[in-house]
A and B are shown apart, each in its own frame.
Chain A
Amino acid sequence: MELIVDRQVVFAYTGAQPLEPTRSTIVFIHGAAMDHSIWTLQSRYLAHHGYNVLAVDLPGHGRSGGQPLPSVSAIADWIDRLLAAAGLEQAVLVGHSMGSLAVLETGARHPDRVWAVGLLGTAVPMSVSKPLLAAAKANDHAALAMVNLWSHSNRAQLGGNPIPGLWLTGLGIRLLERAAPGVLYNDLKACNDYQDGLESAARVRCPALLILGRRDLMTPPRAARDLLAALPRASSIMLAGCGHMLSTECPSEVLAALVDFFRRGN
C-alpha cells in the first residue's frame, strides 16, 4: 500500500492484506540501502496470521519517494509521522541494522507509540569503518561489495539458502545496487553518527527483543552487550551460524523468535 508522509509517497508492503483496526500492527524497518523485501519471509507469514504488517521502504529507498533521512533521530521522528499517516496509535516496531537504531530511538522519543521493539543485527554504538565510509562517499562499487561480503556469514556465502534456488550473495549485491547514488553513504553515516543510543535505550519502556547472529561481522554480538544492559525490559536470542542478514539467512529462526516474542507480549 502507499501512504503519504511529509507530502511524499511511502511504500509499505502489507502481504496483500488490508489493515484491520482490531489487529496489532507490526512495522518493519530495513537497514542501510535496502528495502522491504528483506522481510519477505517474516512479513508475509505474520500478515496471514492475525497481524497487520507494514514493511516500509524508508524515504529515498525502494519504492518510496523523497530523500534519505540524514540521521537516526530523523528516521525515528519520521516513523512517528508514518504511524499517524497509517492511523495507528501504537505498533510493534522491528528493525534491522540501521533500522534497529531507528526503532530504538523511536521507542525513546515516542514511547506512547511503541508497544514493543525487535532489534535485529544491532549494536550501540554502530561504528562504520573509515574505508567503508570513504568508499560509500565516493559511490565506489567496492562499498557495496564490502557491505554484502561482511553482511553474510561464510556459511551463507557458500550457499544452502532456505529459498530453493536463490543465491543470497548475488541477491544481496543486486539489492544494494538498486539504491541511488549517495544512499548507502547517507545511511552508513547516520549509523556512525548515532552516539546517544545507550541513553536512549534507558528511556525505552516497552519490551525489547534483540536477535543477534553469532557470525555477524557487521554488528558482532559483543557490540550489543551494552545495549542489552541499558534496555530496562530486554531479552536476546543468538542464532548460531547466522551473519548480519538475519532475516534472509535464517528466516524461519527469526520468524519463530518474533512470533514467540509477540505471544509473550500478548
Chain B
Amino acid sequence: MATPQYLRFDTLTLHAGQQPDPTTGARATPVYQTAAFVFRDTDQAAALCSGERAGHVHSRLSNPTNAVLEERMAALEGGVGAVCTASGQAALHLAIVTLLGAGSHIVASRALDGDAHHLLAHMLPRFSIHTTFVDPRDPEAFRGAIRSETRLVFGELLGNPTMAVLDIPVIARIAHEAGLPFLVDATLATPYLCRPIEHGADLVCHAATQFLGGHGVAVGGILVDGGVFDWEAAGRFSTLTEPDPGFHGLDFAEEYGPAAFIMRARQEGLRDFGACLNASAAFQLLQGVETLSLRMARHVENARKIVAFLETAAAVAWVNYPELFSHPDHALAQRLLPKGCGAVLSFGVKGGRLAGQRFIENLRLFSHLANVGDAKSLVIHPASTTHRLMGAQALQVAEIAEDMIRLTVGLEDPDDLLEDLDRALRASQKL
C-alpha cells in the first residue's frame, strides 16, 4: 500500500511552522521583537511558568518568530522539535550540556570545524567532560573509544574542511548498540542534501549562519531532536528519566515522551546558559530557509564546475571533494548525499604556502573570510586561520595540510568564478 503523502520538502521550506498572523493577516512571519509576553491573568502566568500551559513567557526561552524557524527545521529534518540558539557553537554546547555532566565522556570524529574541536578538546575538559577523537573513516574506532562514562557520539556529516563523509548508518548502529545517542552536525549538507535522522542519527545540529541562512547576515544555530532515541531503555540519562527537584519533580521522559530531550534543552540549557537567538536573526534565517532547495541545487551545480576546472588546472596539486572518484568517501557520499556533496571543497596550490597566499590575494570575487555557506563565494587558508588552534600535530592527524585552500562556492555566474580562479592561480605561480 502506498504511504499517505505528507507535505513535501519544498513546501515545508516555505510553510512549516507558520500560519498567517491571526491578528493582522500578515503572510510573512512577523518579527516579534519583544523581550517578554504579557500574561492574561495570574493563573495563566503561573501555569505558563510551571509548564502547565503552552505559550511564550520570555524571549530567552521562546519567541513566536523563533518558534517558526524551530518547527520548520524540525519538519525539514524529520524530527519532533527543535531549539534555535545564538550560534551553531551554542547548539552543539546545548546538546552536550543537556546530556552530560562532569565525569562524562564524548566520542567524536576528529574531522571537525576548528571551533567545535576547541570546545571539545580544550574548553569542556575544564568542566571534566572529556572527548576521544577518532578517525571518521574508521567506524570501529568509535566502538573502541566508547567507555562506561561515554554519553554521546558526535561527528560532522561533512567534515570541515576535509569533507570526510560520516558513515551515519554504521556509526549510529555502533552508538545504539552501546546505548548512546548519536549527534550529527549537518551544517555543510543541510536537510536538502541529507536528513541524518532518516539514516539513524538521533540529534542534528546546524550552524544556521551558513547554508540555512545562506546570506551571511545573521548568526544562529539550531538543534533538532529526532524523537527516536529511547532514553529510558538506555538507563543512563537521569536528567531525562528521573524526577528532577529543580523542576518540582518533573520527569521529562514521562511528561513529554518522544520530545523529552528537546523540552529539557529548552527549559534548562537554553534558560540557564542563555544562548538564545534574537527574533530578528530568526526572521533573517527564515528568509534563507525559504529558498533552501533552489540555493543548494545551484551551490552544488557551481561547485561541480569549479571542481572540474581545478582537476585540470596546472597550478593545482590536488583537489578534495567527495564527488570525485579519488575521494576516499566517494561511494559513501553517493549513498548518503545523492543530490550532491555541497559547496565546500579544498585543494592544494603548487608552490606551498607562499603560492597559496599569492592565490588568495589575487582573487577578486572570492571573499577572504572565516565563514562558509554564503551566497557569495569564499576562500580561506584553514591551517593559519579557522583551525590554527588545533596545533601542528592535530592538523596533521586531521589531514589539514599546509597547502590546503578551502573554497565555499557561491551562487555567482560560474563562468565569472572560473575566470577569477584561473587568474589567481596563474598569479600564484609567478614567484
Binding site for B on A (CB under 8 A): 13, 16, 35, 37, 40-41, 44-45, 48, 63, 131, 134-135, 140-142, 145-146, 149-150, 155, 157-167, 169-171, 174-175, 177-178, 251-252, 255
Residues A159 and B80 in contact, CB atoms below 8 Å apart: no
Given contact pairs A159-B16, A164-B67, A165-B74, a sample of 14 additional A-B residue pairs in the complex whose CB atoms are under 8 Å apart: A16-B249, A40-B255, A45-B47, A141-B3, A155-B19, A158-B18, A164-B64, A166-B259, A166-B263, A167-B16, A167-B79, A167-B81, A171-B80, A171-B259
A187–chain B nearest beta-carbon distance, Å: 17
**Contact partner of B81 among A145, A158, A166, CB < 8 A?**
A166
Chain B hits for A37, CB < 8 A: 255-257
In the assembly, what is the distance between CA of A20 and CA of B70, in Å? Answer: 39
A19–chain B nearest beta-carbon distance, Å: 14
Residues B255 and A159 in contact, CB atoms below 8 Å apart: no
Nearest 4 interchain pairs by C-beta: A164-B62, A16-B249, A165-B70, A37-B257
Chain A hits for B4, CB < 8 A: 142, 145-146, 149-150
Residues A171 and B227 in contact, CB atoms below 8 Å apart: yes
Residues A145 and B19 in contact, CB atoms below 8 Å apart: no
Residues B75 and A163 in contact, CB atoms below 8 Å apart: no
> Contacts A35-B257, A174-B80: A45 and B262 contacting too (C-beta < 8 A)?
no
In the complex, which residue of chain B has the Cβ closest to the Cβ of A42?
B52
B110–chain A nearest beta-carbon distance, Å: 32
Binding site for A on B (CB under 8 A): 1-4, 6-7, 15-19, 47, 50-56, 61-64, 66-68, 70-72, 74-75, 78-84, 227-228, 243, 248-251, 254-259, 262-263, 266
Chain A hits for B15, CB < 8 A: 158-159
In the complex, which residue of chain A has the Cβ closest to the Cβ of B258?
A174
Residues A41 and B54 in contact, CB atoms below 8 Å apart: yes
Chain A hits for B258, CB < 8 A: 171, 174-175, 178
In the complex, which residue of chain A has the Cβ closest to the Cβ of B250?
A16
Residues A158 and B7 in contact, CB atoms below 8 Å apart: yes
Residues A160 and B18 in contact, CB atoms below 8 Å apart: yes
Chain B hits for A150, CB < 8 A: 4
In the assembly, what is the distance between CA of A169 and CA of B228, in Å? Answer: 14
> Contacts A48-B52, A162-B54, A164-B67: A16 and B257 contacting too (C-beta < 8 A)?
no
> Contacts A37-B257, A171-B258: A142 and B2 contacting too (C-beta < 8 A)?
yes
> Contacts A37-B256, A159-B15, A159-B17: A165 and B6 contacting too (C-beta < 8 A)?
no
Could you list 19 examples of A-B contacts with CB < 8 Å? A16-B248, A37-B256, A41-B54, A44-B51, A44-B255, A157-B6, A158-B17, A159-B16, A159-B68, A159-B71, A163-B81, A165-B66, A167-B16, A167-B75, A167-B82, A170-B79, A170-B227, A174-B257, A255-B53
Residues A16 and B70 in contact, CB atoms below 8 Å apart: no
B10–chain A nearest beta-carbon distance, Å: 14
Chain B hits for A155, CB < 8 A: 19
In the assembly, what is the distance between CA of A109 and CA of B140, in Å? Answer: 60
Chain A hits for B227, CB < 8 A: 170-171, 174
In the assembly, what is the distance between CA of A171 and CA of B75, in Å? Answer: 10
In the assembly, what is the distance between CA of A155 and CA of B84, in Å? Answer: 23
**Contact partner of B262 among A35, A157, A165, CB < 8 A?**
A165
In the assembly, what is the distance between CA of A88 and CA of B304, in Å? Answer: 70
> Contacts A40-B255, A166-B259, A170-B81: A135 and B1 contacting too (C-beta < 8 A)?
yes
A164–chain B nearest beta-carbon distance, Å: 4
Residues A163 and B19 in contact, CB atoms below 8 Å apart: no
In the assembly, what is the distance between CA of A150 and CA of B4, in Å? Answer: 9
In the complex, which residue of chain A has the Cβ closest to the Cβ of B55?
A162
